[in-house]
Structure 1
Amino acid sequence: MSLSLRQIRYFVATAEYGQISHAAVNLSISQSAVTAAIKDLELTVGVSLFNRTPQGMELTTAGRQFLSHAYEILAKIDEATHLNLVSSDIEGELVVAATYTVIGYFLPLHIERIRRLYPKLKIKLYEVNRESIEEGLLANRYDISVLLTSNILNPMLTTETSLSSVRRLWVPAGHGLLRRDGVGLREIAEEPYIMLTVDEAAHSSLRYWSQSSYQPKVLLRTSSIEAVRSMVANGLGVAILSDMVHRPWSLEGRRIETVNIQDPIPPMDVGLAWRANVEFSPPMLAFRRYFQQAYNLPGTNS
């Protein structure tokens, strides 16, 4: 049985949404079509890619490895089918600002691909916080930015989300919540909690905690994602963070599992921001079009 592009797309959608029903809605197809495609894919690769749980579809270790390859396959296909949308002869300088999380977990691969696509384009990249990005865009110090678009509220800026990364509960291997039929904020509130603060993560998490009847028992507030990873892996607490920053192993080599959360938790949205009504230069247009193509966003004229 051969592997198909359809199977890969259905697999990626299910991995990102964590639910076959949500993936089916996003793909505008039936749930049975998604289920059949994933079963066929697992037969083709010879391993289970998901654990089926009452909370949804959780990636296995092999599933996470396959997801990385799936993203690369889809990106290569997308590059091949959009070769002539923007000329590779574009040249000039583009000043890009990005936040800490985006620099560390999202942007480097894309910058490398953009440089291959547009070898004459010089990208000047700066890591700054959201407030500085907003001020810098309005002052024309930065042409465009890559950041957590869900944090932008300034009406003088325009945003375009490329990726919505699902937030899940991080727990150490063997944790009792892995055996629960349902896990929500009520159960999480009973555990010691590791609160990430970088890129306004604490503010984002308190927004959904405040809408519930529960509050996290915060053991530690830290700006280090690696500290969260190690604390969770060593059984000192749990955390709610996005799939984009998840890695299954801590620096000590201990495993971190993820659990779907029953309560509504907003995803972490990552994308572009620029000054509203700005006239796009060719470098800005090329940069934006790259992300539109990479994430199958509808193209627009700027």
Structure 2
Amino acid sequence: MLNRISLRQMQYFVATAESESIIIASEKIHVSSPSISAAIAHIESELQVQLFIRQHAKGLMLTNIGQQVMQECKVILGQANSLYALAADFSGSIRGPLKLGCFSAFSPMIYAEIIHGFTHLYKNVTLQLCEDDQQVLLNSLSRSELDVVLSYDLNIDQDLIHFEPLAVLPPHVLVSEAHPLAKSAAVTLDELATYPMVLLDMPYSNDYFLSLFRQQKLSPQVAHSSRHMDVVRSMVANNLGYTILNVRPKNNYSLDGKRLVRLRIAGEHRPMKIGLATAKNANLNTVAQAFISRCRAFLSNQYIPGMGDAHFFDAHVKTKPALQEA
């Protein structure tokens, strides 16, 4: 009987089907790989069908029946989420699911205070967290797979998505202690263009960093790149080049223990804005509205959880008063 398959097992199966990998699904939904494997095995046993074809090079591929089971599971999960949302809206309580997206480059810094703090405060909230790049998050938001996205103001389609900026993050330069520019108070893009660059190569972000040079008719020497900020920071710390970033972790060391030096960029340059993205046609439930209120209270130009040295940029940022929770 279908009631022997839990909603949680369906969630694990759908996450794996969408990721085409148990490992990737594990990282996205923060559940161990053995738990996901057990859930899939249980569903296959209950239904007496094979859900995936396991390919060595290409990962997991749904069988024909697996495709149909996934669609039915998504319908059932959607109906269950609607029941929780309806109850929360009717009672006014903060209870039910929250499908949250967060840009992966800054999610480690804001996770504890904003995301974990919210679920700790409202214990009846079920969080589904997606950490990914801007392109994936905006696409998921437009398909109503996410309720709210914490992201940058990059490539926002204003006809489909509403973006509420909360804090401004100007660009800055990171170099190693051994870099020739390490002792400079500030550097120009002209100076940087003569040195190798390490590019954070994420969709939309990469174009933003390169556009800073294009606006001054300069071409940076991109020598290395990575989609992962910690890898970029390690390359820079090992003096493979400089990088330009907007997030400013409190820790000025790479993961291999080498010190990084942060420098101002002389002149005026377009900052990134961190904020909240929601679909314009979305009817936000009580849970999503409560999370948005928390973000407004905890994110401002004066303070961003997990980030340091806001005064470093005071000359470039017009600040707004920090909001307080009612």
TM-score, normalising length: structure 2: 0.59
8 Å CA contact retained: 1:150, 1:270: no
Amino acid paired to 1:118? Y
Q: Which SS does the other structure have where 1:259 is aligned?
A: strand
The 3-state SS of whatever aligns with 1:264 is coil
Does residue 162 of the first structure (1) align with residue 184 of the second (2)?
no
Partner of 2:221: 217
- Matched AA of 2:299: Y
How far does the alpha carbon of each residue in 1:47-67 deviate from its partner, in whole angstroms, 9 at most, with x for none?
xxxxxxxxxxxxxxxxxxxxx
Which residue identity lines up with residue 147 of structure 1 in the other structure? Answer: S
SS across alignment from 1:221: strand
Distance in 2 separating the partners of 1:182 and 1:140: 43
Q: C-alpha distance in 2, partners of 1:282/1:255?
A: 44
Whole-angstrom distance in 2 between the partners of 1:185 and 1:172: 17
Aligned to 2:273, which of 248, 269, 273? 269
Q: Distance in 2 between matches of 1:264 and 1:99?
A: 25
Question: Shift of residue 115 of structure 1?
Answer: 1.2
Query: How do 1:133-282 and structure 2 match up within 5 A?
Result: 133-180=137-184, 182-245=186-249, 247-282=251-286
Deviation per CA, 1:247-296, whole angstroms, max 9, x where unpaired? 31122221100111103232232221111143321111101100111135
Q: What do the CA deviations read for 1:11-36 (whole angstroms, capped 9, x no partner)?
A: xxxxxxxxxxxxxxxxxxxxxxxxxx
Contact 1:184/1:261, CA 8 A, preserved across alignment: yes
Instruction: Encode CA deviations 1:137-191: one digit per residue, 9 max, x unaligned.
Output: 2332221112222342342110112232232111111433233464100111111
Separation in 1 of the partners of 2:105 and 2:92?
29
Inter-CA distance 102–256: structure 2 relative to 1 (3 Å threshold): closer
User: Unaligned stretches of 5+ in structure 1?
Assistant: 1-86
Q: Distance in 1 between matches of 2:210 and 2:143?
A: 31
Give the match's secondary structure for 1:94.
Answer: strand
Q: Secondary structure at the match of 1:280?
A: coil
Amino acid at match of 1:138: S
Match of 1:27 in 2: none
Determine if contact 2:135/2:204 at 8 Å carries over to the other structure: no
CA contact under 8 A between 1:249 and 1:256: conserved in structure 2?
yes
TM-score (norm 1): 0.63
Q: Distance in 2 between matches of 1:230 and 1:277?
A: 42
Q: Residues of 2 paired with 1:179 and 1:98: CA distance?
A: 34
Structure 1 residues 131 and 199: alpha-carbon distance in aligned structure 2, compared to 1, 3 A threshold: closer
Give, in whole Å, the separation in 1 of the partners of 2:322 and 2:273: 17
Q: Does structure 1 residue 99 correspond to structure 2 residue 103?
A: yes
Q: Equivalent of 1:293, from 297, 314, 317?
A: 297
Counterpart CA distance in 2 for 1:128 and 1:171 is 26
Asked whether the 8 Å contact 2:190–2:218 carries over to 1, the reply is yes
The one-letter code matched in structure 1 to 2:143 is: A
Which entry has the higher C-alpha Rg, 1 or 2? 2
Kept in 2: contact 1:105–1:244 (CA 8 A):
no
| CA shift for structure 1 position 241 | 0.9
Change (3 A) 1:243 1:145: closer
The runs of at least 4 aligned residues of structure 1 exceeding 4 Å deviation read 296-299
Is the 8 Å Cα contact of residues 89 and 120 (structure 1) preserved in structure 2? no
Contact residue 118 and residue 291 of structure 2 kept, 8 A: yes
CA displacement at 1:214 relative to structure 2: 1.7
Instruction: Indicate how the Cα distance of structure 1 residues 144 and 115 shifts in structure 2: closer, same or farther if over 3 A, else same.
Output: same
Indicate the RMSD between aligned Cα atoms, in angstroms: 2.5
Secondary structure at the residue paired with 1:176? coil
User: In structure 1, what is the Cα distance between the partners aligned to 2:152 and 2:219?
Assistant: 24
Give me the whole-angstrom Cα distance separating, in 1, the residues matched to 2:133 and 2:179. Answer: 35
Contact 1:159–1:271 (Cα < 8 Å) also in 2: yes
